[in-house]
Structure 1
Amino acid sequence: MSVIDKIKKRMLYSSIFGIFVIIALLIYADVGKLTEAFIQFKWTYIPVIVLLTLLNYIFRFYKWDYYLGKLDIDISKKDSFVVFFSGLVMSITPGKLGEVFKSYLLKQLDDIQISKSAPIIFAERLTDVMGLLILASVGIIVYDYSLNLLIAILTIFALIVLVIQSRILSMKIIDFCERLPLVSNYVHHLRLSYESAYTLLRHKPLLFTIAISIVSWFFECIAMWYVLKGFGLGRPLLDATFVFAFSSLAGAVSMLPGGLGIAEGSIVGLLHTLDVPNSIATGTALIIRFGTLWFGVLSGIVVLSLNINKFQKD
């Protein structure tokens, strides 16, 4: 089975799972009340929501392209753009780690070793989580909500960075892996991946890309705010930022495909704590997830379909 066929299979399974999540939300919210809420929604906000999502992708593309430059991976901006947006197809994989598909595309495109570029996906996810955590932190502190989770994620993040930035410790871990029967044959790939990770997580690029992540994900927080406005709720931007960022974090930490079920459930639950009616909370979860997650997947399908010949070698 080819890589593309495997992707189609995974997308099918994830899409089916997504449909079950939507059905569960429809049952939970009462279809009649939810339909009434959708009728009252100001659909003229949808282009604004989509535009804000696109701005998120543009800033994340800039981060991706910046990482390529740090690793001296020299491809054109057009090809970089195509690879990045094609990778959005894999947004509905656990923790978005399926976006390592971008490394496969780079290999097909310009024979770039996967072990060299794969740490970019790890760095992207790590800085995305930190960006979302910083965005959510104000709400976590203000609402006194899951402060322990904030501390736990910060601690794990610090440990990961410290280990990678300690060559002595990292080399000891790699040397240990070299003695393991099932891993020893791949240690040379592990060493190359480590060098890439070390470069990407140096203090300057780390702080710079976290700043990009904060800006990029804030656009989707604003999109969430517009969804609430569309339902006639004059909630402060802080509420929308906290709910979206925290829910996205919960979805990422869950490691479920695209955070499906967890992200939507968190949005509904958090909005309930802010006294948002059940039907509107559920409607908000459905619209923001269609406008962000599923719009990204659809964009990836379109870009990959239009450029599939680039990645097919004879």
Structure 2
Amino acid sequence: MQKRMGLIAFGIIVIFALIWWAGIDETISIVRSTNWKYLSLAILMQALAVIAWALRWRVFLNRANVRESLSRVLVAVLVGIFVNNITPGARAGGEPARMYVVSRGKDEIYGRTFATVMADRILDAIPVMLFTFVAFKYALDLKIHVILLILSISTLVLLLILGISLLFSFNERLAKGLLSRLLSLLKRVFPHKFAGVEEKIEKKFERGIMDFRKTLIDLSKDKVVFFKTLFYSLFLWVVMMLRTFFVFMSIGHPLKIYEVLMVQMAGIALGMISILPGGIGITEGVNSALYLSLSLDKGVAVTATVVDRFISFWLPTIVGGAISFYLSAKGRKA
């Protein structure tokens, strides 16, 4: 925990260094001139993205006969976002966290819920790859070599993550190993809930392996589920692009939507492989540099990036963290 907090502190220092480099006075001046109507629209887009994610996952849950209210699924998604954002690397910590929120107290659905989480993660790669391809085309037409390079790296990383996810999902031995790792993550996130019952929970997880594989195969064959979830995925990514678009509108420096698309797609995988939790500092630095490649002023590039990250990273993390601590405190009292 101390190491993780140290990394987060380092990332925050990087952000402040970035603001200092861009010019503190200029950054404050740009923020003061913010158009609150467009900023409110940016926040609304982020909220819609989270709701779309919850709706998408709920389609998978319903198909797997795991019946939960939208509010419960939304809570699980926010808890997952919080854990993802404090987890270094490929952001895998949020999956077991949201699985636990939905499955707790219902031992028989662990395997099915885990299958929906994996299906949700795998399907998300489709719109990402689609938008990355479109971004690559624009970057190629405009001959922006920096963005082309990072888009290429991002594509390779995303394909690698997708391949690993598929491999773990359909290989029983690897799936058992993955469940074991997820269990250890859950014990760190909810230590009081798992104290003294680790062995019991682990046996339940092992019994859920067959249920997990059957559910995942059923989900992959259902075309109605595929198209419904794909619609929510596409909607989710569109509103996230619009969020950044409105952020730039709010500071009086509008960008074309394809410029936002290029930068967003280029930066996504780099944040996923960052050793810093949630890519704190790294994502801000990379995105600012990419906006500079579009001939933006450094003050505008840094300010827009920091504001956009506050909306997309810090606000959901704060909300998800508050919910996580509430559930943890409630669990201790139970």
Query: Does the alignment reach a TM-score above 0.5?
Result: yes
CA contact (8 A) 1:29 1:282 kept: yes
How much does 1:151 deviate?
Answer: 5.3
Question: Which one is further off, 193-202 or 265-274?
Answer: 193-202
Whether 1:209 and 2:229 are equivalent positions in the alignment is yes
Partner of 1:87: 80
Distance change in 2, residues 1:195/1:12 (3 Å): farther
SS at match of 2:104: helix
Distance 1:276 1:129, change over 3 A: farther
Indicate yes or no: 2:295 matched with 1:275: yes
Relative to structure 1, the CA distance from residue 160 to residue 203 in structure 2 (aligned partners, 3 Å threshold; closer, same or farther) is farther
1:194 partner SS:
helix
Alpha-carbon offset, residue 257 of structure 1: 1.9
**Displacement after TM superposition at 1:188 (Å):** 5.0
Quick one: which of 144, 147, 152 aligns to 1:148?
152
Using a 3 Å threshold, how does the CA distance of structure 1 residues 103 and 313 change in structure 2: closer, same or farther?
Answer: farther
Write the distance in 1 (CA, Å) between the matches of 2:273 and 2:156.
12
Counterpart CA distance in 1 for 2:214 and 2:276 is: 29
Please point out which of 214, 221, 228 is paired with 1:195. 214
On the 8 A contact 1:132/1:249 being kept in 2, the answer is: no
TM-score (norm 1): 0.78
What SS does the aligned partner of 2:277 have? coil
Structure 2: which 5+ runs fail to align? 141-147, 179-202
Q: 2:98 aligns with which of 91, 95, 102?
A: 102
The alpha-carbon distance between structure 1 residues 41 and 88, as it changes in their structure 2 partners (threshold 3 A), is same
TM-score (norm 2): 0.74
- Report the aligned-residue RMSD: 3.5
Question: Unaligned 5+ residue runs, structure 1?
Answer: 1-5, 178-184
Moved more, 109-118 or 94-103: 109-118
CA distance in 2, matches of 1:208, 1:15: 37
Give the SS at the match of 1:274: coil
The structural deviation recorded for 1:269 is 1.5
Corresponding residue of 1:285: 305
Alignment length, in residue pairs? Answer: 298
Residue identity in the other structure for 2:267: S
The code of the aligned residue for 1:70 comes to R
1:31 counterpart letter in structure 2: I
Please give the secondary structure, in 2, of the residue aligned with 1:72. coil
Q: Is the 8 A contact 1:221 1:241 kept in 2?
A: yes
Question: Match for residue 111 of structure 1?
Answer: 107
1:70 deviates by: 2.4
Q: Check conservation: 2:220, 2:226, Cα contact below 8 A.
A: yes
CA distance 1:259–1:211, shift in 2 (3 Å): farther
- Separation in 1, partners of 2:80, 2:163: 28
Tell which has more relative contact order, 1 or 2 (C-alpha 8 A, sep 6+). 2
> CA 1:196–1:255 in 2, change beyond 3 Å: closer, same or farther?
farther
Residue 46 (str. 1) matches residue 46 (str. 2): no
